[in-house]
Amino acid sequence: MTSSSYSSKRNIPVLLNLLLFLCFIHGVKSQQRLIKHIFAESPAASPTHNSPQFEHGLRRIILSIFLGIFTGLIGVLLFACFLRFFVRYLNRTPLFKGPVIFSPQIDPKTLRSALYNENQLLGSSPNGQYYRTVLGNGLIIAVKRLEPFDVASPEANSKILKRRIQQELEILAGLRHRNLMSLRAYVRETDRFSLVYDYMPSGSLEDATNRVRENQLQLGWDVRLRIAVGIIKGLHYLHFGCTPQVVHYNLKPSNVMLDAEYEPRLADCSLTKLFLNLDREASAYTAPECFHNFRYTDKSDVFSFGVILGVLLTGRDPADPFFAEAAGGGSFGRWLRHLQQAGEAREALEKSLLGEEMEEDEMLVAVRIAVVCLSDLPNDRPSSDELVSMLTQLQLKIAACGCGNGDTERTEKSCALALALG
């Protein structure tokens, strides 16, 4: 939509308000003419105050004034309602047909033809499939095809729902941060949406951790810490840098993409909330409150981050059946908390990370931070704002913290806060 059409839309409410004011002035002048007409009908001789003619004329004047005010108010209210609905109608988001582009590097025609060509399948889920494709200008993109509703369902033909989804996608396209996957374009079809992102050559964090477990990839502590810092910086932007606040809703390794330098970027922000019919199966990364009262807040994102940080430290899969057993404490978070409180946190660390004493000390503090994030109560978890300081200053503050592995005088949260605040 062009800027001239936007400016014309902004001028319409002003013109309508001016018209409303002119109607009000016209009503006042009409009332004045009515009063003059009533006085003109009275006899030439001035009646006394107690004469029937005077009292009758006075009653007519008062009645006409009240009737004029009442009808004027009704007219103003009706016109104001009409004005409101008319302006909302003009300002509503039109349903776009064809590709909606947010990047100047993408041509709509080239994109549409590329989507229908043979593409490389990167992965699939119950909600859709992920493809790698190349545009005519050589730009490599990743396409996520979502099928949130059936063709025969009422939602597939609901213009209100499609308009709401379109508005939310435009908001998501406006999010800009180095640790977020930016939405470059999308294509709406009858029963699905195709979302276009930058292609990440290193795949997802889930792919990387699987390759590490299969001894196909080595990730040192410095790389893992950089990944953790990047993830929490992305969350911090969503929680504190956006108005209104954006919550991820589905943070897990498969939604953390890695570029060629293993810098993380969060993907699928708020898509679970946006597409209500998407698969919402709870996972080991889901916060406890989401099971009990279905409340999801920024602290729920922090819990999910705590699980990811624990995975980076231990190399373990939180969905391993071992953690559901009594020996595993019932969950990955309880298992990690038990080892940390027992002074055996080193036993939880991935063996390939052990070696340098300084790095081990840093990892033990990171275990404490992960345990705090995995607290059962949301209020006991730190905010993403606090976590950014904790992790970025980890190496600088560890000596000043004074909370080694055997320190039991401080709670985990206060110790972690000490790392950030010194």
| CA distances (Å), origin 385, targets 235, 246, 364 | 9, 14, 21
pTM: 0.73
The DSSP symbol for 61 reads: H
336 in Cβ contact with 312 (< 8 Å) = no
- Of residues 281 and 205, more confidence is placed in 205
C-beta atoms surrounding 136 within 10 Å:
11
Question: Band of the pLDDT at 21, cuts 50, 70, 90?
Answer: low
Phi and psi of 151, rounded to 5°? -65, -35
| 40-49, 319-328, 347-356: segment of lowest average pLDDT | 40-49
Sheet containing strand 120-125, strands side by side = 99-101, 185-188, 193-198, 140-146, 128-134, 120-125
DSSP characters for 192-228?
-EEEEEE--TT-BHHHHHHHHHTTS----HHHHHHHH
Q: How much is the pLDDT for 325?
A: 81
> Position of tokens 């993380």?
264
**pLDDT tens-digit series, residues 44-93:** 444 555 567 666 667 777 777 777 777 878 877 887 887 777 666 555 55
- Of residues 95 and 208, more confidence is placed in 208
Q: Which residues contact 230 (CB under 8 A, 6 or more apart)?
A: 178, 179, 263, 264, 265
94 in Cβ contact with 49 (< 8 Å) = no
E strand or H helix at 80: helix 52-91
Beta strands in 77-184 (DSSP E): 99-101, 120-125, 128-134, 140-146
Strand partners, 387: none
Q: How much is the pLDDT for 127?
A: 63
Q: What percent of the chain has pLDDT over 70?
A: 71
9 in Cβ contact with 91 (< 8 Å) = yes
Question: Band of the pLDDT at 410, cuts 50, 70, 90?
Answer: very low
388 in Cβ contact with 422 (< 8 Å) = no
* 147 vs 351: CA distance, rounded Å: 41
Residue 382 pLDDT greater than 90, yes or no: yes
Q: Which residues contact 63 (CB under 8 A, 6 or more apart)?
A: none
* 95 vs 306: CA distance, rounded Å: 40
Q: How much is the pLDDT for 259?
A: 93
Q: How much is the pLDDT for 375?
A: 95
Q: Which residues contact 367 (CB under 8 A, 6 or more apart)?
A: 310, 313, 336, 340, 345, 348, 349
Quick one: average pLDDT of 277-297? 78
Residue 404 pLDDT greater than 60, yes or no: no
Please say whether the dihedral angle defined by the alpha carbons of residues 288, 290, 294 and 300, taken in this order, is positive or negative.
Answer: positive
- Of residues 327 and 172, more confidence is placed in 172
Q: Which residues contact 142 (CB under 8 A, 6 or more apart)?
A: 122, 130, 131, 132, 196, 197, 198, 199, 200
- Give the residue among 267, 248, 251 at the shortest CA–CA distance from 259: 267
Q: Which residues contact 268 (CB under 8 A, 6 or more apart)?
A: 144, 181, 248, 250, 255
| pLDDT, mean over the chain | 79
* 388 vs 228: CA distance, rounded Å: 10
Contacts of residues 82-89 at CB distance under 8 Å and 24 or more positions apart, as own/partner, are 83/13, 83/16, 83/17, 83/20, 86/16, 87/12, 87/13, 87/16
**pLDDT tens-digit series, residues 209-264:** 999 999 999 999 999 999 999 999 999 999 999 988 999 988 999 999 999 999 99
- Of residues 315 and 23, more confidence is placed in 315
**pLDDT tens-digit series, residues 141-179:** 999 888 766 555 555 566 777 777 888 888 888 899 999
Strand partners, 90: none
Helices (H) and strands (E) in the chain, counts: 14, 8
Residue 339 pLDDT greater than 70, yes or no: yes
